[in-house]
Amino acid sequence: MWSPSARFSLLALLAIAVPATIVALLGYISIRQWEKSSELLYREQARDMAAMAAAKVEMMLRHEEDAFLNRLQAALDADGPSARAVGEVLDHSPLVRRLYLVTRRGELLFPKAWKEGDAAVIGPLVAEATQGKLERGSKREVVAGHRVCLALLTGRRGEPVLAAFIRDTEVLRREIFETALGALESPTIFTVVDHEGRAVYSRAPVGDAQPILSVTFRETLPDWRLAVYQTADAAPRRAVRRQVMLFTGAYGVLLLVIIAGIVATWRLTRRETEMARLKSDFVANVSHDLKTPLSVIRMFGETLDMGRVTDEGGRREYYRVITRESERLSRLIDNVLDFSRIESGRQTYRTAPTAVEPLIRSTLEAFAYPLAQHGFKVDVDVPADLPEGSMDADAVGQALANLIDNAIKYSGDERALAVTVRVVDGRLAITVADRGVGIAAPEHARIFEKFYRVGRSDTQGRRGSGVGLALVRHIAEAHGGDVIVESAPGEGSRFTLRLPLAGRRDG
């Protein structure tokens, strides 16, 4: 026959496993829908950006050509179609490679003769335009033949003069496309494609990027397109898969922690009833602590991925929040994993002479954002001539991090944190002091027990796994030192790690 605790544990396992399986299934369906919607949103955003980029190209090109035509009209008003005046205009217009000025009757005013077979291409266009299809008084009305632009100007005596000019492709690429498209902040690749499907300009090598859409230019570049390519790294599908891997791993860690708690409960005896309750609280608190930063990371990551934060300051703030929550999640997981290794007897430490001041500074830097966010005043007092300590820097840093995290978590109205280091009785004494809610004297010894949490109303609302101080004590004792606490309700707490100096180790 199974014991009552065994039956309870089995029921608890089923009660968690079945909903967890359902949640995992619903999560998978949700992620698939998210993947489809993110791809659709990505295409819509890419199309909008491409349309704006194409409009910017056309605006810049029209501005340059209007400026050229204004200078040309001014030259015609002053000197007529003289070679000298027109030549000076061309010298200041690198975008125009060749220019022809023709009368309504088809007479060539500038230059004296056609070049490079241009008569065969431009002649029919000029003849068509002179039949009344280009209105007087306009600047550029028609762009034809993919390369030839026509404009109707006025001579010095008021007679119509038809200007036909050919653009310089290299200048177009360098002065217009590079200026308009090169500075765009987007992971996508924009490529200008001419009427024959040739790439005239690309802001980055296309390589194995996939084409997703294209938009056409309007009057200034007929039959040319702005194509948008998607790199593998920018694909929403890949970003979703990274999120899936992250959440699946976190979910697996969470499930393992829950199962470990249930298995531990299964092995309890009647004399361990209180310990069973504490372990159950540990599971619930770790679950909450793991899920909270994951939810924040996912929400802020989705918002950034969908492009809803447009200003740089907003994006930087989102990145800071994601980094802060990731560091918080790492500390939680490190605590759980280290505690597991301690329980199984597999935890080891590598001690070496270590400078204390840089270790304290780096640990405080990891809490810079939450300390500033909660308005803490931080004082650090480390003597310049302090000797090195014999310690495992990572382990002692983790112990300090747990003490600082508790100071933040159990702070009162007066937000102050002080870290001091002294040499006392031949040992390093590292003190972390706060002005928080404090701890009653009868509980000073019990707070270092695994899973134990102070049972007062002003502390129960603050989540915690209950293993932080147990880890601090284990790290201190593994180094041949100890940890002491001085505290009273309403007067804050002082935790002091006492560790051996380099070259010495207490028995």
Average pLDDT of the segment spanning 118-146: 62
Beginning with the edge strand found earlier in the chain, give each strand of the sheet holding 140-144 in spatial order. Answer: 108-110, 96-103, 160-167, 148-154, 140-144
361 and 293 in a single domain? The answer is: no
Whether 434 is covered by a domain: the verdict is yes
Whether 41 is covered by a domain: the verdict is no
Q: How far apart are CA 177 and CA 64, in angstroms?
A: 13
User: Residue 367: how many CB atoms within 10 A of its CB?
Assistant: 24
What pTM was computed for the model? 0.44
361 and 495 in a single domain? The answer is: yes
384 and 487 in a single domain? The answer is: yes
Position 493 pLDDT exceeds 90: yes
Residue bearing tokens 């870290």:
419
Among 45-59, 134-148, 337-351, 385-399, the range scoring the smallest mean pLDDT is: 134-148
What pLDDT is stored for residue 252 in this prediction? 74
What pLDDT is stored for residue 92 in this prediction? 92
Between 276 and 69, residue with greater pLDDT: 69
What pLDDT is stored for residue 205 in this prediction? 87
Whether 2 is covered by a domain: the verdict is no
290 and 378 in a single domain? The answer is: no
Whether 295 is covered by a domain: the verdict is yes
Single out the residue of 186, 176, 162 nearest to residue 221, CA to CA.
Answer: 176
- What are the two backbone dihedrals, phi and then psi, of residue 249, each rounded to the nearest 5 degrees? -65, -45
326 and 393 in a single domain? The answer is: no
Position 458 pLDDT exceeds 50: no
The backbone region for 269, taken as left when phi is positive above 0, alpha when psi lies in -120 to 50, beta otherwise, is beta
Single out the residue of 180, 177, 239 nearest to residue 202, CA to CA.
Answer: 177
Looking at 322, 343, 364, which one is the last position of a domain?
Answer: 343
Give the strand pairing for 493-500 and 427-434.
antiparallel
What pLDDT is stored for residue 467 in this prediction? 74
Reduce the DSSP state of residue 2 to 3 states and report it.
coil
Each residue's pLDDT tens digit, 18-39: 776 776 677 667 766 766 777 7
**pLDDT band at residue 145 under the 50/70/90 scheme:** very low
Average pLDDT of the segment spanning 40-60: 88
What pLDDT is stored for residue 186 in this prediction? 72
What pLDDT is stored for residue 300 in this prediction? 75
What pLDDT is stored for residue 9 in this prediction? 61
What pLDDT is stored for residue 328 in this prediction? 66
Position 161 pLDDT exceeds 70: yes
Mean pLDDT of the chain: 79
Each residue's pLDDT tens digit, 169-213: 899 999 999 998 887 777 788 999 988 888 999 988 888 888 889
What pLDDT is stored for residue 461 in this prediction? 47
Most confident of 30-39, 118-127, 284-293, 412-421: 412-421
How many structural domains compose the chain?
4
What lies within 8 Å, CB to CB, of 391 at 6+ separation is: 351, 352, 354, 479, 499
Single out the residue of 3, 16, 23, 18 nearest to residue 280, CA to CA.
Answer: 16
What pLDDT is stored for residue 506 in this prediction? 53
Single out the residue of 431, 405, 418 nearest to residue 483, CA to CA.
Answer: 431
Whether 505 is covered by a domain: the verdict is no
Note down the domain range covering 194.
171-230
Which one-letter amino acid corresponds to residue 99?
Answer: L
Q: Report residue 475 as tokens.
A: 């790290």
Whether 66 is covered by a domain: the verdict is yes
490 and 377 in a single domain? The answer is: yes
CATH number, domain containing residue 112: 3.30.450
What pLDDT is stored for residue 308 in this prediction? 77
Give the strand pairing for 416-424 and 377-381.
parallel
What pLDDT is stored for residue 89 in this prediction? 92
153 and 138 in a single domain? The answer is: yes
Looking at 326, 343, 360, which one is the last position of a domain?
Answer: 343
67 and 162 in a single domain? The answer is: yes
364 and 438 in a single domain? The answer is: yes
395 and 322 in a single domain? The answer is: no
Average pLDDT of the segment spanning 398-415: 88
316 and 336 in a single domain? The answer is: yes
Whether 157 is covered by a domain: the verdict is yes
Each residue's pLDDT tens digit, 312-355: 887 777 777 777 677 767 766 766 666 666 666 677 778 899 99
Between 100 and 346, residue with greater pLDDT: 100
SS3 sequence of 392-446: CHHHHHHHHHHHHHHHHHCCCCCCEEEEEEEEECCEEEEEEEECCCCCCHHHCCH
**pLDDT band at residue 287 under the 50/70/90 scheme:** low
190 and 78 in a single domain? The answer is: no
Average pLDDT of the segment spanning 94-109: 88
Looking at 130, 151, 166, which one is the last position of a domain?
Answer: 166
Between 153 and 338, residue with greater pLDDT: 153
Each residue's pLDDT tens digit, 429-448: 999 999 999 999 888 888 88
Whether 507 is covered by a domain: the verdict is no
How far separated are the first and last CA of the chain, in Å rounded? 49
